[in-house]
Amino acid sequence: MLRDPATPSCRSHWRTLIACLLAGALCGCAGRDRSCSEPCVPWTGEPTTPGIVAVINGTPTPILIDTGFNGNLLVPISGLDALHLVQEDAPGGQATGLGGDFPWWRTGPVLMILGGSRVDLSSSMAMRRDLALMGTQILRDVGAVIDCGRQVFFAEQAMADSPWSAIYAQDRLRGRGYCSIPFLPVPGDGLLVRGMIAGHAVVLGIDTGANSSTLDADRLAAWGLVDDSLGTALLDNRISIDASGRLARMGASRPLTVELGAVRVEGSFTALELATLNRGRAAHAGEHGEGSNPLAGIIGMDVLLAHRAIIDFRTATMYLTIARAR
């Protein structure tokens, strides 16, 4: 579930004195709860809810970084007046989430200042929800770097001439125990990577808007990897606060291994029916003449934080520490 961000802070967990001094010199964050200056934009709120403050049409606005949303900007209908936005009368379409399909409305033009970068949008999406979020279209456009270990955000233009750019060079990350995992080259289909579930080759979604990771219940059942008999649970939709929800099959997996590059994530995972989400994604792909990659699971913030993920839209690469963070 989404929660409102709180006061900006830079929650860093450096392991050595050198790393601490380096980050403090570059970011102005020598310790916990010290605000960063540009180009380093600190997350707000809890680590599992990666939000930042952006300026939308002149108004500072808390906004969730959501790599599971393949659009540009989604704003609450209730906040349109404060953002100087007007919605069209007729719905612009249907957005598909885990709980089904929900209407959205198109708004007027948006000027957004994000981590020192200017983003001009001809329109955004408005829905009945409680928090603004930005998706992979904007993140690609600004060349975003999302650092789950330091819990900071960068835009490429702002960090280009700073020492941070060298810190996120691939060779340096590998020297710090990271492995690299390339994004699948399907720009309109969210942030996807290839992986393995118990030895089966799969496509997985990387979703910073999800607190925890979920694997597809139907596939796990077919592979004999469901521990509990799949029951029925009321599923709340992740992107619409007024959704009545729907009935979905839900359970738990047997202990298994999910592989992402050289990273092995072992344990029992939530097993949840992803058929509705995959049908919506397939329909969207058909409308835009693109292929669709059915998801076998969603990797959420539990795994991304545990392996100090760095999601680099400049190079279309995700980095994870091979060892789990302590």
Please list the residues that pair with 318 across neighbouring strands: 181, 311
For residues 257-273, average pLDDT: 93
How do residues 104-120 score in pLDDT, each as one tens digit?
Answer: 889 999 999 988 889 99
Helix (H, G, I), strand (E, B) or coil at 188: helix
326 pLDDT higher than 80: no
Q: How far is CA 84 from CA 63, 70, 77, 222, 224, in A?
A: 16, 24, 11, 50, 53
Confidence band (pLDDT; 50, 70, 90) for 309? Answer: very high
37 pLDDT higher than 60: no
pLDDT of residue 10: 35
What would be the CATH architecture of the domain defined by 181-321? Beta Barrel (2.40)
203 pLDDT higher than 90: yes
How do residues 217-238 score in pLDDT, each as one tens digit?
Answer: 889 989 999 876 655 554 444 4
Q: Domain 17-177's class?
A: mainly beta
For residues 176-191, average pLDDT: 87
Confidence band (pLDDT; 50, 70, 90) for 274? Answer: confident
- 321 φ, ψ to 5°? -70, 135
How do residues 142-162 score in pLDDT, each as one tens digit?
Answer: 999 999 999 999 999 888 878
E strands present in 98-213: 100-106, 110-114, 117-121, 125-127, 132-134, 145-147, 152-154, 178-182, 192-197, 200-206
How far is residue 29's CA from residue 10's CA, in Å, rounded to a whole number? 7
Q: How far is CA 66 from CA 17, 31, 166, 211, in A?
A: 32, 27, 25, 11
Give me the residue spans of the domains in the chain: 17-177, 181-321
pLDDT of residue 204: 96
105 contact partners, CB below 8 Å, separation of at least 6: 77, 87, 88, 90, 91, 92, 125, 126, 127
How do residues 58-104 score in pLDDT, each as one tens digit?
Answer: 999 999 999 998 889 999 998 899 999 988 876 777 666 655 567 88
Angle subtended at Cα 232 by Cα 231 and Cα 238, rounded to the nearest 5 degrees = 125
Residue of 72, 73, 13 whose CA lies nearest to 43: 13
How far is residue 5's CA from residue 40's CA, in Å, rounded to a whole number? 17
How far is residue 107's CA from residue 205's CA, in Å, rounded to a whole number? 28
Min mean pLDDT across 8-12, 146-150, 286-290 is at 8-12
The answer to whether 106 and 85 are in contact (CB under 8 A) is: no
Cα maximum dimension of the chain: 57
DSSP line for 231-243: EEEEE--TT-TT-
Domains 17-177 and 181-321 equal at CATH topology level: yes
